[in-house]
Chain A
C-alpha cells in the first residue's frame, strides 16, 4: 500500500527547472494572496493574470513527473529531516487544488462586488493564498513535521476565511470549529509523539520500513485517526460542518468543502497505510461509520429547508462513500485487482466530488445572491429566470448522484466492482442507497425550482462569468468520468 503513496526511492534527481516549478507551486499562491490584500482586485482579469504562473507551475510539475517518474526532495536543517515527494497522485491532487483555487479566486471579485461584504473582504485574499499553499504542501510532504505544520496553517486560515462574514451565527459556528480543529490537531500531535518516542523518526519513508504492528502503532493510529477524522468531518464528528457553511461566503464554502476537508482525509489514509497495514477491524469500523454517514447525511439533506444546508449535508454523505472503501484499501487478504480498483475509485470519487461540490456551492451561492433567499421555497420560479445557475446545479448533481458518464459514475462503478469481487454486499447496498438518497434530495430541490405559481421576485443580476466559472468546474467533474484514463494512469504510475 505504501508504494502507492510514492514512499520509495526515486530514480532521477529533479532538474533545476523543476525546483523552480516546485517553489512557484508552493509559494506563489501565498505571494499573490498578500499582493491582493494590498491591492484588492475589483475585476476577474487581474486575478486571471496572477493565477496564470501558478497554473504553469502545476503543468511543469506534471510534465516533470511524466518524464522522470517519482521525484523526491530532502533537506536536513539542524538535525531535522524535511522531505517532499512528487508522484502521480500528488501531481493530480495539486492540479485539482490549483484549478479549484483559481476558479474560486476568479469567482470572488464579482461575488464581493454584488454582496454586502463589509471591510474585512480584503483579508479573504491572503487567507485563500495560505490555504492553497498549505494544501499544495500537504499533497507533497512526506514527513510528519511538515504535514503537521501545513495542516495547522491550512486549518487556521480556513477558520479565518469562514469567519469573515462577521455575522453572529458565523462567529459562533466558527468558534466551535476553531476549538474542535485545535483539539483535533493536539490529538494528532500526541499520536506523532508516540511514533517519535517509539521509532525515533518522523519521515514517512523510513517509518514505513520500521513500523511493526503492535500496541504503540494501534494507539498512535487511533489518536491520529480521531484528530484527523474530526478535521475531515467524518461521520460521527461532522456536526460542526453544516453551521459553518450556513453563513460563510460562497467562494470560501467552495474551497472548504472541495479541498480543505479532503486534505485531512488524505493524510489519514496515508498514515494509516503505514501504521495499520492489513488490519481487519479499524478500516471496518470506518466503513460501518461511512455506511451510517451515507444514510444520515442523505436524510439530513433530504429533510432540510435551506439550500446551503442541503449542499453541506450532502458532503457528509459523499465522504461516506470514501469511508466505505477503507477495508478494500487497508484490509487484509484483498487481491491485487480489487485493491487497485478501489484505489482508483477512491481518488476519482474524491476528485469528482471536489469539482462537483465546488461548482454546486457556487451555483447555490448564485441562486441565493440572485433571489435574495436562502431557503428551498425561495427557489420557486427560478427555472425560467435563472436557467444557467440551475443547469450548473444539475450538471454538478449528475456527478454526485453517479449517473453516467460523470466522474461519480466511473468512480462508483470501480468501487462497486471491487466490492463485488471481494463480496462485500453490505457496502454495495450502502452505495446504492446513497445514490437513491442523493437523487431524492436533488430532485426535491428541482421540484421547488419548477414551481411556477410563486409570486415574482426582483432578481439581482449576476456579474458576468459567475455562472460560467461554476459551469466549467461542473463540466470538469463530468469530463473526469469520460476521460478517466488520464487521471487513472497518473494514479497508477510509479510502481517500483
Chain B
C-alpha cells in the first residue's frame, strides 16, 4: 500500500485535518450562492490540494497545482466574475436561478448513485480499505468531493457554478487517482495533464462566460441560455 497512508498517529492527525479542510472548502465552494465567496473558497481548496500533494511526497505535483490550480485557474474565475479588469461590465454577484424540487431530488439521487459506485470500485481496488476506512482520510475525502461535485454539476444551472463544480470534480478525481495508484511517475504525469486540461477548459469557459455576459446579460448564463429566473 502507499507509504503515507500507513503513517504514525500524529501524522494521521495532520492528514485528517487536510482531508477535513479539503472537504469543507469544496462543499462551501460548491453550494454557496454568493459567487465571489465561492471563488475565494475555490482558491482555498486549490491551496489545500497543494499542501496535500506536498504531504503525499509529490513536490512536482504540488508545484504544478500551485501554478496551474491556484494561480492560473483562480485568475480565470476572477476574470469571469469581472474582478480582474474593472469597468468592463457589472461584476457577477449571486446565482439567482432556482430549480424545481423534483429535479433537485433526481440530481441528489444521481450523486448518491455515483458515490456508491465510485466507493464500491475503490473498495475493490484497495482491499484493506473495506476493513479500516478511517485509515485513508484523503481517499475518503476524494470520494465525497467527487460525488458532491458531480451532484452540484448536474444540479446548478449557473454556468460559472458549473465550471467551479467541474474543477472541484477534477481535483476529487485526481485525489482518487493518487489514492488508488499512488504517486508513481505515471500517476503524476496523468494528474499534471489533467490539471493542464482543467486550466485550459476553465480559461475557455471564463472567456465564454464573459462574452455571453457582454452579448446577452446575466440571463444567458441560466438554463440553456433561456430566461427562467425566479423571483429572487
| A and B held together in a complex | yes
Of A40-48, A66-74, A188-196, A254-262, the one touching chain B: A188-196
Q: Is the CB of A175 within 8 A of B177?
A: no
- B-chain residues with CB within 8 Å of residue A163 when the two chains form the complex: 204, 208
Q: Is the CB of A215 within 8 A of B193?
A: no
Q: Which of B185, B190, B201, B216 contacts A178 (CB 8 A)?
A: B201
What's the nearest-Cβ distance from chain A to residue B220, in Å?
7
Q: How far is the CA of A297 from the CA of B184 in the complex (A)?
A: 45
Whether a CB of chain B sits under 8 angstroms from the CB of A479 is no
Q: Is the CB of A193 within 8 A of B177?
A: yes
Q: How far is the CA of A29 from the CA of B208 in the complex (A)?
A: 27
- A-chain residues with CB within 8 Å of residue B126 when the two chains form the complex: 197
Q: Which of A179, A193, A215 contacts B181 (CB 8 A)?
A: A193
What's the nearest-Cβ distance from chain A to residue B103, in Å?
16
- B-chain residues with CB within 8 Å of residue A220 when the two chains form the complex: 121
Q: How far is the CA of A189 from the CA of B209 in the complex (A)?
A: 26
Report if A198-B197 is in contact (Cβ < 8 Å); known contacts: A172-B224, A190-B118. no
CB nearest neighbor in A for B154 = A183
Q: Is the CB of A196 within 8 A of B186?
A: yes
- B-chain residues with CB within 8 Å of residue A171 when the two chains form the complex: 208, 211-212, 215, 220
Q: Which of B125, B163, B173 contacts A179 (CB 8 A)?
A: B163
Whether a CB of chain B sits under 8 angstroms from the CB of A159 is yes
CB nearest neighbor in B for A163 = B208
Chain A stretch 329-354: residues in CB contact (< 8 A) with chain B = none
Q: Is the CB of B185 within 8 A of A79?
A: yes
Whether a CB of chain B sits under 8 angstroms from the CB of A49 is no
Q: Is the CB of B201 within 8 A of A168?
A: no
Q: How far is the CA of A215 from the CA of B224 in the complex (A)?
A: 37
Q: Which of A80, A176, A223 contacts B186 (CB 8 A)?
A: A80
What's the nearest-Cβ distance from chain B to residue A225, in Å?
13
Q: Which of A79, A185, A214, A219 contacts B197 (CB 8 A)?
A: A185
Report if A198-B224 is in contact (Cβ < 8 Å); known contacts: A174-B208, A182-B166, A183-B166. no
Q: Is the CB of A197 within 8 A of B181?
A: yes
Q: How far is the CA of A192 from the CA of B220 in the complex (A)?
A: 35
Q: How far is the CA of A389 from the CA of B225 in the complex (A)?
A: 34
Interface residues on B, range: 35 or more
Q: Is the CB of B185 within 8 A of A80?
A: yes
Question: Using an 8 Å CB-CB cutoff, how does the interface string of B170-213 with A read, 1 for contact, 0 for none?
Answer: 10010011001110111101100110011011001100110110
- A-chain residues with CB within 8 Å of residue B118 when the two chains form the complex: 190
Q: Is the CB of B198 within 8 A of A182?
A: yes
Q: Is the CB of B176 within 8 A of A193?
A: yes
Report if A152-B220 is in contact (Cβ < 8 Å); known contacts: A196-B177, A216-B121, A216-B124. no
Chain B stretch 107-161: residues in CB contact (< 8 A) with chain A = 117-118, 120-121, 124-126, 146, 150, 153, 159
Whether a CB of chain B sits under 8 angstroms from the CB of A145 is yes
Q: Is the CB of B205 within 8 A of A179?
A: yes
Q: Is the CB of A160 within 8 A of B181?
A: no
Whether a CB of chain B sits under 8 angstroms from the CB of A169 is yes
Q: Is the CB of A179 within 8 A of B162?
A: yes
Whether a CB of chain B sits under 8 angstroms from the CB of A282 is no
- A-chain residues with CB within 8 Å of residue B212 when the two chains form the complex: 168, 171-172, 175
Q: Is the CB of B180 within 8 A of A194?
A: yes
Whether a CB of chain B sits under 8 angstroms from the CB of A202 is yes
Whether a CB of chain B sits under 8 angstroms from the CB of A186 is yes
- B-chain residues with CB within 8 Å of residue A190 when the two chains form the complex: 118, 146, 173, 176-177
What's the nearest-Cβ distance from chain B to residue A456, in Å?
35
Q: Is the CB of A152 within 8 A of B177?
A: no
Q: How far is the CA of A196 from the CA of B182 in the complex (A)?
A: 9
CB nearest neighbor in A for B209 = A175
What's the nearest-Cβ distance from chain A to residue B162, in Å?
6
Q: How far is the CA of A480 from the CA of B216 in the complex (A)?
A: 47
CB nearest neighbor in B for A191 = B121
- A-chain residues with CB within 8 Å of residue B193 when the two chains form the complex: 145, 148-149, 152
Q: How far is the CA of A80 from the CA of B216 in the complex (A)?
A: 47
Whether a CB of chain A sits under 8 angstroms from the CB of B70 is no
Q: Is the CB of A175 within 8 A of B205?
A: yes
- B-chain residues with CB within 8 Å of residue A80 when the two chains form the complex: 185-186, 189
- B-chain residues with CB within 8 Å of residue A200 when the two chains form the complex: 181, 184
Whether a CB of chain A sits under 8 angstroms from the CB of B52 is no
Whether a CB of chain B sits under 8 angstroms from the CB of A78 is yes
Q: Is the CB of B216 within 8 A of A189?
A: no
Chain A stretch 244-263: residues in CB contact (< 8 A) with chain B = none
Whether a CB of chain B sits under 8 angstroms from the CB of A237 is no
Q: List 23 A-B contacts (CB under 8 A).
A: A80-B185, A80-B186, A172-B224, A172-B225, A175-B205, A179-B205, A182-B198, A186-B194, A189-B190, A190-B146, A193-B187, A194-B125, A196-B181, A196-B186, A196-B190, A197-B125, A197-B182, A200-B181, A214-B124, A215-B120, A215-B124, A216-B121, A219-B117
Q: A168-B220, A196-B181 provided; 19 other pairs, C-beta below 8 A?
A: A79-B185, A80-B185, A145-B189, A148-B193, A156-B204, A168-B215, A169-B225, A171-B211, A182-B166, A183-B169, A186-B194, A190-B177, A192-B177, A192-B190, A193-B187, A194-B180, A196-B190, A216-B125, A219-B120
Q: Which residues of A contact B (CB under 8 A)?
A: 78-80, 145, 148-149, 152, 156, 159-160, 163, 166, 168-169, 171-172, 174-176, 178-179, 182-183, 185-186, 189-190, 192-194, 196-198, 200-202, 214-216, 219-220, 222-223
| Top-5 shortest CB links A-B | A197-B180, A193-B177, A172-B225, A219-B121, A79-B185
